[in-house]
Amino acid sequence: MREELERIQKIERLLNGQLAGQERVDFEQQIASDPGLQADVKAQQTVLSGLERLLLRPGIKKAAFRFKWMRWLLRGGAGLVGIGIVVTACLFLFSGNRPVYKGKSLPTLNESGKKQWAYADTAIAAQSFEVNGAKDTVIETKGGILLAVPAGCFLDKDGNRVTGKVEFVIKEALDAATIVKSGLSTTSDGKLLETGGMFFLDARHNGGALKIDPQKYIYAQVPTDSVKAGMQLFHGERMADGSINWANPKPIEHDLVPVDINTLNFYPPHFLKHLADWGYDTKNKHLTDSLYYSLAALFVVDHAQQTGTRIELDSVDTAKESLLVQVAKPYSDVTMSQSADCAINPAKIKAIWNDKFQNTLIATREFEERLQTIHFSVLAPHTLDVYLNNLDKPLYQIDSLAASQDLRGDREIFLKFAARHDGRVNITKKQLLQLKKYYQTKWKLYTLAAAKTQREFWGKQAELDAKADDRRARHGTDSSAAAERNFEQEFSINLKEACRQIGWKESNLNTLPPATYTVQIAVTGWCNIDRAVEASLATRETLDYTDGETGKKAVIKYSPVSFQIANADEYDKVLVYLIPDKLNSFINVARQNGQYVEKLNELIQYSLFCIGYKNGQQYIYTEKNIKAKAHPNIQLNVMPDEEVKLKLTALTDKKKAEKVNEENAYQQAELLEQKRIKANVSSLQLRNALVLIAFPCWIGVDVARPAAAPAATRDTAIRKPQQARSPTPVSEDQ
């Protein structure tokens, strides 16, 4: 042996206490003086420590497995009926008649009543258990095989049920050493198998071999380090040469292992991915749930008549569980309505995706996988119900039931699921009924609650829409009236001045008619000046009138003024007002090409009031008696509301200041209103986008199936919503 290996051997002997006397002393001294050797010893000790851990693992796993199985059994699992389950953890000595099997000795006839035995029958000692045929019994072998033996499962040769004492015998070969030592093969008709464990069962009553009632099977769980797919149960055929050939394979139904339901993903395929692409925090389950479950409101069938923008709600019509998307004015030019029968109501997912369904078939990775496919199914709601109505059955049976529906192209997928032979999670009939009732009640409640929240929200929005409309109408009326009054007043001022310049006496002006065509005209010249003044005022062009008789001129100048607000685009809104001293109301200056332009009447003094709105604050500039010229780069300064009012009062008289304040208040309200509308539009855009990703079977949108990313061409239908915000909230108690 190479020197290094000899060193390892010596270290092993030291650590095992097999090194003694002087040899040990010398070696310890050598270790003390040699750091390399010290490192070797330390590492080898660690390896042995690791080996100890490895050797403990199977026992611990067995104990874990047994613990879970016992707890599961005690909760009424394994399909066992009745009470009086006797749990055995030790071997019993058979206390009835002389045992037929004892150690490695064998009865004359085997379990099939024949004289043939294999070498393995003699090589492996029997473990005998005394079982009461009339009671449910659980047995654990030395190797950890757990057997659930239901009451009345044994039949004698005449087919009669056996009660009383039964000798139940097990021989097991679960590890490689035992299999090899006992001459057992791992071949089936010459083909090599990978074994998960071998065992032999026999049951005797008064020496006679018993059969097992096929309607009451014995349930066996063989411990394993890892479950491998494709494991089957083979029956052993004794061959003439004493070997055993494995034949008649049957798929093993392996029980499903429930996991924490809150770790599973029941959203539609790619739902979270799309949300992540849109910038949402998909780790926030409260948010992602809110986005998804809010769509349950779309499953309420609207029987009542639509009145204006209010959509009246009815109760959930269970006969017609279809998705209905409606949008009413003012958020859409037309009232849109589309429906899809294939969509799963998110309220149904909410009803099952909770702790109520822990430790059921729903709380398994296997169901999670199927749900991803169900979301795409053309009969998605019905397919989901097939699973939910059969929670006590093995999954492969439910898969077959699902495949038997008219699923068209989806049938193949469910048949493939069935072929996996996935088992069940045991629940009692009582639990099944309770869960069904819970589900049926809850999904309807959630749907109505979601619809109610939506209705309340949009109802409120409709009220606000109406109020805003009223406010705008009133403002429009008031503004028009104010403009008319201003016009009349300015006309009057201009006409008076024009007449004065021409030489008309004031007394003549007293009879000046109002600026309409309903009075008699006395003097031709007067009529012309009237028209000239009106025309000049209407166009805000300089009046330059010459009296035909006297040759006297009347000139009233209009001079342009412009205002340019610094950084105007940074504000949500900017307004510029001129407050004339001789008119009752302010003038709203129009914006043209980035500037606010007007023409000033030389007969009137104007004060300037500029206001900008940004982030809920007001920014102001004021100036008295402005000149008719360009006013560039006007800086607005932030000012609280009360100061604005004071500024206005200093700028003009109380009455006009009040009017400007009212206008200011209106503009602020309009700003908020625009934000509200924008948010609602954004909300609807988000809802429409969510509909496309939440209901993959939606008509007209071909979203990719699971395990395939959506193609680029499809993304035109699934655009990131513009400045999307959270949807209409789903209240906590829904």
Place of tokens 């300064």: 637
Q: How far is the CB of 38 from other proteins (least distance, A)?
A: 11
Alpha helices in 203-352 (DSSP H): 271-277, 285-293, 346-352
* 5 touching other proteins, by CB under 8 A: yes
Question: What string of H, E and C letters represents the secondary structure of 25-85?
Answer: HHHHHHHHHCHHHHHHHHHHHHHHHHHHHHHHHHHHHHHHHHHHHHHHHHCCCCCCCCCCC
Q: How many chain residues bind other proteins (CB under 8 A)?
A: 39
User: CB of 127 within 8 A of CB of 91?
Assistant: yes
CA distance 275 to 281: 8
Q: How far is the CB of 304 from other proteins (least distance, A)?
A: 47
CA distance 426 to 75: 9
Nearer to other proteins, 62 or 455 (CB): 62
Q: Which stretch binds other proteins (CB under 8 A): 37-45, 242-250, 621-629, 707-715?
A: 37-45
On the 0-12 / 13-18 / 19+ scale of CB atoms within 10 A, 212 is middle
Q: Which stretch binds other proteins (CB under 8 A): 55-63, 227-235, 423-431, 547-555?
A: 55-63
Q: Residues 122-161: x/- map of binding to other proteins (CB under 8 A)? A: ----------------------x-----------------
Measured in degrees and rounded to the nearest 5, phi and psi for residue 391 equal: -65, -20
* 712 touching other proteins, by CB under 8 A: no
How far CA 313 is from CA of 272, 320, 447, 449, in Å, comes to 30, 15, 12, 11
Nearer to other proteins, 177 or 709 (CB): 177
* 356 touching other proteins, by CB under 8 A: no
Nearer to other proteins, 53 or 678 (CB): 53
Considering only residues 262 to 281 of the shown chain, the ones binding other proteins according to CB under 8 A are 263
- Dihedral angle at the C-alpha atoms of 407, 410, 412, 417, nearest 10 degrees? -110
Nearer to other proteins, 54 or 319 (CB): 54
Q: How far is the CB of 423 from other proteins (least distance, A)?
A: 20
From the CB of residue 205, how many other CB atoms can be counted at a distance below 10 Å? 22
Partners of 161 in beta bridges: 155
Q: How far is the CB of 171 from other proteins (least distance, A)?
A: 19
* 469 touching other proteins, by CB under 8 A: no
Q: Which of 26, 28, 34, 260 binds other proteins (CB under 8 A)?
A: 260
End-to-end CA separation in angstroms for the chain: 75
- DSSP string across 620-633: EEEESS--SSEEEE
Considering only residues 162 to 221 of the shown chain, the ones binding other proteins according to CB under 8 A are 175-177, 180
How far CA 39 is from CA of 15, 34, 139, in Å, comes to 14, 9, 49
Q: Which stretch binds other proteins (CB under 8 A): 60-68, 296-304, 399-407, 684-692?
A: 60-68
* 8 touching other proteins, by CB under 8 A: yes
Nearer to other proteins, 91 or 684 (CB): 91
CA distance 204 to 668: 94
Q: How far is the CB of 143 from other proteins (least distance, A)?
A: 10
Q: Residues 10-29: x/- map of binding to other proteins (CB under 8 A)? A: --x-----------------
Q: How far is the CB of 698 from other proteins (least distance, A)?
A: 35
Residues at the interface with other proteins (CB under 8 A):
1, 4-5, 8-9, 12, 39-40, 42-44, 46-47, 49-57, 59-64, 66-67, 89, 144, 175-177, 180, 259-260, 263
